[in-house]
Amino acid sequence: MNIARLFSAVTLFAWVAFFLVLAFVVLQASRKTPIKRASTLVLIVGVIAIVISTVSAGLVFIEPQDRGVVISAIDPKGYREQALEPGLHWVIPFAESVVQYPISRRTYTMSIMPTEGELVGDDSIEARTSDGQKVLVDASIIYAVDPTEVVNVHITWQNRYDRDLVRAQARGVIRDAVSQFGIEEVYSSKRFELVDMVSAELINKFDENGLIMIDFVLRNISFSDEYAASVEQKQIAEQLAQQGKFVVEQKKQEAEQARQSAEGRADAAVIEAQGRADARLIEAEAEAKALLLVADAIKGNPDLLTYQYINQITPNIDVMLLPNNAPFLFPLPEMGPAAPVTVVPGE
């Protein structure tokens, strides 16, 4: 519970009671019916109101998220050097007063959107890149008052530090940082480097003035209409080039697939031909071996060939073997189908 606010409410009630009592006493006196010891009653109520008012003026409660700067009429410097910490404190009534400053984190936004920034309307930062292009920067600065520097902040800035310090320093630092990069570097390759540069510079500036820079947020970077159009055309051209490269690569892949398929078919044909050749070679070798065996058999028994010829003749054909060293077979049409075959060995 905030006791200081409670005493303020009690003070208000005491003074209301005092004036009501005073009015009642005056009213009764005007009606010729004065109240006994009316002046004493009025005095007592008045003293109580004054005492409560004095106590209320001396009590100060500092919230956890605040610090208090004591402005003193009796101190030669006009203020206390130490700020009041959170909690209930006593100051000299009517001779000292307390100005409270928040030390919690705050955000100051500068945006091109009329309703997003701290100021109504376009509050973006206009800057020029190293190659002369105009850009509009949207940014937010998250900061806080240093609890140990609250008194110095009050002396130097009072409650104007958000606009006169945070806003002014941020806009100047952002402009200086953007001027060190080209237009393409700002929005692509060196965007993070730009953020780091601005953050480092703001940390130094804020530290010199009793503030703590928590974070710098680069919200957006906008370009002029002419440059935006040129960037769009460039992106379209790059997309078309990428698409062309994709088509070429696709054609190369199709050609490679066709080549590999042709090589596969050729390899298959070679393998098939090799298989047939190997089969023919094996068959020829077998036939040659068989012929050698037959030749060896005939060489040892010449009549074996004649016997084989006779066995191969169809049974319904009548033949006669003429005596000769190379016998011939002739059909005998005049002989009946049942006639036996006469074999005359050669002499």
Which 3-state string (H, E, C) describes 147-195?
Answer: HHHHHHHHHHCCCCHHHHHHHHHHHHHHHHHHCCCCHHHHHHHCHHHHH
Q: What is the pLDDT of residue 275?
A: 79
Mean pLDDT of 38-51: 85
Closest-CA residue to 147 (of 66, 215, 91): 66
The C-alpha atoms of residue 344 and residue 321 are separated, in whole angstroms, by 6
Taking a C-beta distance cutoff of 8 angstroms, is the pair 319, 332 a contact? yes
- Element spanning 42, H or E: helix 38-58
Q: What is the pLDDT of residues 167-185, one digit of tens each?
A: 999 999 999 999 999 888 8
What secondary structure does DSSP assign to 118-147, as a single string? Answer: SSSS--PEEEE-TTS-EEEEEEEEEEEE-G
pTM for the structure as a whole: 0.60
What is the rounded average pLDDT for all residues in the chain? Answer: 81
Q: What is the pLDDT of residue 100?
A: 94
pLDDT confidence tier of residue 347, bands split at 50, 70 and 90? very low
pLDDT confidence tier of residue 20, bands split at 50, 70 and 90? confident
- Element spanning 215, H or E: strand 211-223
Q: What is the pLDDT of residue 231?
A: 67
Structural domains of the chain ordered from first start: 3-102 (no CATH), 106-223 (3.30.479.30), 314-343 (no CATH)
Mean pLDDT of 95-99: 91
* Rounded (5°) CA angle 194-200-205: 125
Q: What is the pLDDT of residue 293?
A: 73
Q: What is the pLDDT of residue 267?
A: 78
Q: What is the pLDDT of residue 344?
A: 47
pLDDT confidence tier of residue 223, bands split at 50, 70 and 90? confident
The C-alpha atoms of residue 115 and residue 200 are separated, in whole angstroms, by 28
User: pLDDT exceeding 90 applies to what percent of the chain?
Assistant: 33
Looking at the predicted structure, is the pLDDT value of residue 346 above 50? no
Which token pair is 74? 């009796």
Q: What is the pLDDT of residue 258?
A: 80
Q: What is the pLDDT of residue 268?
A: 79
Looking at the predicted structure, is the pLDDT value of residue 166 above 70? yes
Looking at the predicted structure, is the pLDDT value of residue 270 above 80? no
Q: What is the pLDDT of residue 215?
A: 95
Taking a C-beta distance cutoff of 8 angstroms, is the pair 221, 135 a contact? yes
Alpha carbon 206 to its chain centroid, in Å, reads 30
Looking at the predicted structure, is the pLDDT value of residue 326 above 60? no
Closest-CA residue to 18 (of 51, 40, 49, 54): 49
Q: What is the pLDDT of residue 320?
A: 54
Q: Which residues contact 203 (CB under 8 A, 6 or more apart)?
A: 213
pLDDT confidence tier of residue 203, bands split at 50, 70 and 90? very high
Q: What is the pLDDT of residue 287?
A: 77
Neighbour tally for 148: CB within 10 Å: 12
Identify the three-state secondary structure at position 346. Answer: coil
What secondary structure does DSSP assign to 54-89, as a single string? Answer: HHHHHEEEE-TTEEEEEEESSSTTSB-SSPBPSEEE
